[in-house]
Amino acid sequence: MLSTKPITPRFGSEITSDFQLADCSELEISELLTLSANRGVLVFRDQTLTPSEHAALAHRLGEPLTFPLNSNGIPEELITIASGPKTREAAGEGWHSDVSSESRPPSLSILKMATVPESGGDTLFADMSQAFELLSDPLKAFLQPLTARHEPRGHYLFLSGAQAFDALETSDHPVVRVHPINGKKSLYVNDGFVTRINGLAPRESQSLLKLLYDHIAYTVKTHCRVQWRPNTVVFWDNRSVQHHAAFDYHPEIRLGYRATLRGEQPIPSQNNL
């Protein structure tokens, strides 16, 4: 059993065991999948994980998405996250869930930072289960039958030029989804990918999305914040977590590698509280 300490009482945990992800057992893999579902965000310090070991870990945890344009021997299972003196807009700014436009959007993302700025460059996370819980009962009831259109405008393959926008999936997903491991309901709309709520007039959709995005951004008791150190690895569960990378460190260098696991088709919530 891994030992942990909470980042906040209900959200996020740091692993305190003397533990290397490259060497974990099958029992520990199972424990990590359950723990990440229940805590949303897991932080591992001082990890020796090489890029090839990072890719192998992703396969042990699930089915990784791929990035075919990698160079310098970086495995296709990893996406490079890099910012430096010439960067004007860093990847991950703004609250979002990774590539939610996929028909089977991601479950876990696994990011290892190799180089971090002297200060800044933290990642903020928001718990979408708590965000849903804190809504009024009438709004919960209204949202649960709805679906939203997720388009690949923030997809890493589109932004990198690896694929055209129209070649990537556009998907409709429930506004409130149920986690397949713990059965919790979570809000599942994000500003990086969602263009509209289906069935509503444009002004209604725009106004409702703004209300939900403001709720996600400003309800700070649903947030936790991770301060990176070199060789830190963080898991987060995209099914119930959004994140926001703070770009407050220009012109310093921030370099890491992320594996992203394909999830299942989102389970819609039944219209009950």
Q: Is the residue at 174 inside a domain?
A: yes
Q: Is the residue at 44 inside a domain?
A: yes
Q: Is the Cβ–Cβ distance between 175 and 144 less than 8 Å?
A: yes
Q: Is the residue at 239 inside a domain?
A: yes
- Reported as a single tens digit per residue, the pLDDT across 191-246 is 999 999 999 999 999 999 999 999 999 999 999 999 999 999 999 999 999 999 99
Residue 66: both structure tokens together: 């791929």
Number of domains in the chain: 1
* 156 pLDDT higher than 90: no
* 90 pLDDT higher than 80: no
* Distance separating alpha carbons of residues 50 and 92, to the nearest angstrom: 23
Q: Is the residue at 52 inside a domain?
A: yes
Q: Is the Cβ–Cβ distance between 195 and 72 less than 8 Å?
A: no
Q: Considering only CA atoms, which of 231, 233, 238 is closest in space to residue 261?
A: 238
CA distances from 197 to 151, 189, 201, 244, 273 (A): 12, 9, 9, 22, 20
* 160 pLDDT higher than 70: no
Q: Considering only CA atoms, which of 18, 260, 256 is closest in space to residue 122?
A: 256
* Distance separating alpha carbons of residues 183 and 208, to the nearest angstrom: 25
Torsion on CA atoms 226, 229, 234, 236, rounded to nearest 10:
20
- Could you tell me the pTM of the whole model? 0.94
Torsion on CA atoms 272, 197, 171, 68, rounded to nearest 10:
-120
Q: Is the Cβ–Cβ distance between 198 and 172 less than 8 Å?
A: yes
Q: Considering only CA atoms, which of 206, 256, 272, 271 is closest in space to residue 83?
A: 256
Mean pLDDT of 119-128: 96
Q: Can you give the CATH number for the domain in which 31 is found? A: 3.60.130.10
Instruction: Give pLDDT, residue 64.
Output: 96
Which residues, in sequence order, are CB contacts of 257 under 8 Å at separation 6+?
A: 51, 54, 74, 78, 79, 80, 81, 111, 112, 114
Instruction: Give pLDDT, residue 1.
Output: 80
Q: Is the residue at 87 inside a domain?
A: yes
Q: Is the residue at 217 inside a domain?
A: yes
Q: Considering only CA atoms, which of 156, 118, 86, 124 is closest in space to residue 236?
A: 124
* Distance separating alpha carbons of residues 26 and 23, to the nearest angstrom: 10
Q: Is the residue at 273 inside a domain?
A: no
Q: Which helix (H) or strand (E) segment is 109 a member of? A: strand 106-115
* Residues 19, 23, 29: CA angle, nearest 5 degrees: 85
| Domain interval for residue 68 | 4-268
* Distance separating alpha carbons of residues 242 and 154, to the nearest angstrom: 14
* 248 pLDDT higher than 80: yes
Q: Is the residue at 186 inside a domain?
A: yes
